[in-house]
Amino acid sequence: MAALAVILKNGQHIFVESRRWWWWSRSLETCAEAHTQSDDSKDPRKLRHTAILIRVFVLHCRIAFFFPASKCYIQGFMSAPDSNFVRACKSLPVDRKPVWFMRQAGRYMAEYRAIRKEHSLLEICKKPELAAQVTIEAAEILGVDAAIIFADLLLPLEVMGLPFHFSAGEGPVIEKPVRSKEDIANLRTDRAAELDYVSEAVALVAKHFADRVPVIGFCGAPFTLASYMIEGGGSRNYVHAKKMMYNHAGDWDTLMTKLVSVTTEYSAAQVRAGADAIQIFDSWVGCLSVEDYRRYVLPHVTGMVKTLQRTGVPIIYFGTDSATLLPAMKESGADVIGLDWRIPLDEGWERLDYQAAVQGNLDPVLLFAEWKELRSRAEEILRRADGRPGHIFNLGHGILPETPVDNVKNLARFVQEHSPSGNRKPESGTRRR
């Protein structure tokens, strides 16, 4: 039977080998003060932890719980658990700043455009070899520190019985929007396994990169997906979605619960395939007041985050135009909170009470600027991060079409060469250039 490794918050791996799948326990010698130890954290005499190993059928993996324990991560499937990216997600020191970009595989790249000439977006998503190819090519061309799987946010809607298509110039169009209790009742929650083509693509990417580059899986947040379902596509005011929230709160909760059920199963499958982290995209959450977010959204996101954290990987929660929501988003318990460009990075981190790592937060339009200006803005973000462990450099949203590829490459290289304070020495398995 394969060994299971539990990663304490200080990055230490504790390998547990089980001869049986039922209850089993033992004492393990690990380190004391896991959040402050560094080079001496491998001393096995510091603190005794008791591990209880169980089999969890829902996740199809075994989980070890440590008492007492710092926050721990379970390395059952992760392909690059000691990468700079994963360490930063856990607010651990790194030997250099990790960087990747949302929508790093996209129309701004000639290689991607060539594939799109032959295949639609959904065809690429549903053919694991193609999805893996565009994921790998983008990461290798840019030289970034993580590869996010190529997929579409709305894929779960199909398996719930809600077909959609892409209309030129308009984006996704839901063919029959969800507007009634009956519409919600008809949504399926038992077909998430039909999204296995995404997991197959994750597995191909993880196999290609091994421990050199971590793989990020992702899904849409329940509010953003619910808004697409109800509005029938993009929206400026979210009138129909908010009407359901305000006037039919029970129906709203039922819809959100169904979405959480499908997306957590879908995301857990990506982890089992080798994803090192899951990012939850809440692209439209910024349209909500703090009161509405806390009442109608936060409980569902919190449950989703907690469920996904049982898979053992860090969870990134990203929303746009969400500066006023940051203290509430922190309460979701996500390991990393994504910041957009509308708030200075240090102010955003302070609103989180530094209780989570942060990701961001360059304005994507700055990639069209001259290099001198782009470099200056990147330096400002790095200055505001101040070498504090737990910062992943990214944009405040996805890369835009027609973005100059060389600017993206140069930005990635610049961030990687900007040495943060509080470095750690490189360890085995850490990607180096």
State the DSSP string of 155-209.
HHHHHTT--EEEETTTEEEESS---SHHHHHT---S-GGGGHHHHHHHHHHHHHH
Is the CB of residue 94 less than 8 Å from the CB of residue 431?
no
Among this protein's residues, is 116 annotated catalytic?
A: yes
The tokens of 68 are what?
């007492």
Return d(Cα 137, Cα 116) in angstroms, integer: 14
Return d(Cα 245, Cα 253) in angstroms, integer: 8
Let me know if 9 is exposed, middle or buried by CB neighbors in 10 A (0-12, 13-18, 19+).
middle
The tokens of 108 are what?
């701004």
Question: Of the residues 103, 272, 351, 424, which is catalytic?
Answer: 103
Among this protein's residues, is 152 annotated catalytic?
A: yes
3-class DSSP state of 21: coil
Phi and psi torsions of 204, nearest 5°:
-65, -40
Among this protein's residues, is 377 annotated catalytic?
A: no
* Pick from 220, 231, 223, 285: nearest CA to 255: 223
Return d(Cα 427, Cα 410) in angstroms, integer: 26
- What is the model's pTM? 0.81
Question: Of the residues 82, 145, 152, 276, which is catalytic?
Answer: 152
Return d(Cα 208, Cα 149) in angstroms, integer: 13
The tokens of 264 are what?
């957590």
**What domains can you pick out in the chain, each with its CATH number?**
4-75 (no CATH), 84-417 (3.20.20.210)
Question: Of the residues 55, 107, 191, 342, which is catalytic?
Answer: 107
The tokens of 170 are what?
């308009």
Among this protein's residues, is 103 annotated catalytic?
A: yes
Helix then strand count (H, E) for the chain reads 16, 15
pLDDT per position in the chain (433 positions), as tens?
A: 333 444 444 333 333 333 223 222 322 233 333 333 333 333 332 333 333 333 333 344 433 333 333 454 445 578 889 999 999 999 999 999 999 999 999 999 999 999 999 999 999 999 999 999 999 999 999 999 999 999 999 999 999 999 999 877 668 999 899 999 999 999 999 999 999 999 999 999 999 999 999 999 999 999 999 999 999 988 889 999 999 999 999 999 999 999 999 999 999 999 999 999 999 999 999 999 999 999 999 999 999 999 999 999 999 999 999 999 999 999 999 999 999 999 999 999 999 999 999 999 999 999 999 999 999 999 999 999 999 999 999 999 999 999 999 999 999 999 999 855 434 443 333 333 3
Among this protein's residues, is 353 annotated catalytic?
A: no
